[in-house]
Amino acid sequence: MKQNPSKQKVIKAASTLFFQKGFHGTSVRDIAERASVNVSSISYYFNSKQGLLEYAVTNYYEDYLSSIEKTLNETNLLTPMDKLHSLISTIIQYKQNNFQLTCFIQRELSLDSVFVREMTVTYLAKENFYLKKTFFDLLGKRLKSDYKQYLFMQLKGMLITPYILHNDWKNQVVGDYSRQLFVKKYVRVIKDWLDFIVMSSEDIKRKAVN
């Protein structure tokens, strides 16, 4: 589908301002000035600032889930480890490509609001299903279900940490090349963690048998 350039400029401007000033700290006029459009254009495209937020977040998650589904389909014949590694790479790459909106969304998700509940029921539940199934397929029957659940929580934490504690990471990621390097290195760190988990679970299984 062909995207409207003016509409995309508004979304990009809003993402930056929401990231910098928060949703309530950003006015429609702020967004219009940054995007170099008339305030009336925002009303025409999105009805309101809330409508703009909902549109931006919906687009973000629909594209995000599409990229996850595409990766899972393309890696269907790979080993569980390679499949999960590809999925993690896709997730981190997408979040880095949409860094400011990702950080804003993660910040909002830390609050209990109607917005958060709507995201949880729709998009986050689907993301959780894909990620958990791929992770549990890797672990198989090596560990007890509650233990696997705790490990899954750790994995999810690693996937969102750079976008919650982004001030701790900002000096490591400057410019497009640095962002790509970050993706490569961070995915490698998670892969090493997964290797360790698999090896540890094999040890636990052997001890249980003996």
Q: What is the pLDDT of residue 18?
A: 92
Q: What is the pLDDT of residue 177?
A: 61
Averages of pLDDT over each 10 residues, the chain, 210 residues: 77 93 92 93 91 91 96 96 97 94 87 71 90 94 85 96 78 66 92 91 56
Q: What is the pLDDT of residue 165?
A: 84
Structural domain spans, the chain: 1-47, 54-209
Burial (0-12, 13-18, 19+ Cβ within 10 Å), 125: exposed
Q: What is the pLDDT of residue 203?
A: 62
User: How many Å apart are CA 111 and CA 62, to the nearest integer?
Assistant: 22
**CATH number belonging to domain 1-47:** 1.10.10.60
Q: Would the pTM count as exceeding 0.85?
A: yes
Assess contact for 197 and 139: CB atoms under 8 A.
yes
SS3 197: helix
Q: What is the pLDDT of residue 17?
A: 94
Q: What is the pLDDT of residue 210?
A: 44
- Architecture of 54-209 per CATH? Orthogonal Bundle (1.10)
